[in-house]
Amino acid sequence: MFRRKGFGEDKKSGEMEFGKILVPVFGSEIDEEAIRLACRLAKKNKSKIYVVSVITVKRALPLDAEIEPEIQKAEDILDRMERVAEEQDYEVETVLLQAREVGPSLIDEAMERGVDLILMGVKYKRRFGQFSLGSTVLYVLKNAPCRVILYQQYAS
């Protein structure tokens, strides 16, 4: 039996190694837990962590439109994530993107930076009475060029 070695897989040992980890953040409390988990995973191999916040720009505006409150909000989120990482004794690189849609921009960023893992915090939410992952998570799961870990907060 042959098994295809994937992204982030050590070819000798077969163990998973994540050299570069991308963590999308959206401003909810689950982001902090996702960053803590990413730091723990990264410490073993001294991996690089990219924390990405995406500002979605409505189609009625040019993509390079600077909407100050949105930028400030995203900067605050990234600053907070940096502090969380510092508490974990780790350093992360923060990335602020402007895009039309969150999902495609995350995938594009992951491909451009050649990440081995996307670690997403998932908030427990219900839509029309049903548990829902949301469109961004589904898009990432469907199109990711690497492994994806979903980290969901305790639902109760």
Partner 1 sequence: MTSGWHIKPGDKVFRPRRIRRYHLRRVLGVAAVFSAGYGNVGSSIYYALGIVSLAAMGATPLALGIAGILFVFTALTYAEGTAMFPEAGGSASFARHGFNDFVSFLAGWALMLSYVVTISISAFTIPPYLGYFWAPLKESPIVGTSAAIVIILFLMTMNIIGIRETSVINIVAAIMDIATQVSLVIIGFILLFNPSVLFQHIIGYWPTAGNLVMGIALASIAYTGIETTSQMAEETRKPEKNVPRALGLMIVAVLTIFAGISIVSLLAVSPEQLASEWARDPVAGIAANIPVAIIASIFKPLIGILAGTILLIATNAGLIGISRLAFSLGQYNLMPSVLSRVHPKFKTPYFSIIIFTVIAIAILIPGFFASNVFGGIGALYAFGSLLAFMFSHAAIISLRVRKPELPRPFKLGGNIRIKGRELPITALLGLLSTFIVWIIISIMQPFSSWVGFIWVAAGLVIYCLYRQKRRMPLLSVSKSVAK
Q: How far is the CB of 135 from partner 1 (least distance, A)?
A: 9
Q: Which is nearer to partner 1, 36 or 48 (CB)?
A: 48
Q: How far is the CB of 3 from partner 1 (least distance, A)?
A: 30
3-state DSSP call for residue 59? coil
The residue count of the chain comes to: 156
Q: What is the spatial distance between Cα 20 and Cα 116, in angstroms, rounded to a whole number?
A: 5
Q: How far is the CB of 115 from partner 1 (least distance, A)?
A: 15
Q: Which is nearer to partner 1, 5 or 86 (CB)?
A: 86
Q: Which residues bind partner 1 (CB under 8 A)?
A: 46, 48, 54-55, 57-67, 69-71, 74-75, 82, 86, 89-91, 94-101, 104-105, 108-109
Q: How far is the CB of 144 from partner 1 (least distance, A)?
A: 15
Q: Name residues whose C-beta falls within 8 Å of residue 28's C-beta, 6 or more positions apart in sequence.
A: 121, 123
Q: Which is nearer to partner 1, 30 or 92 (CB)?
A: 92
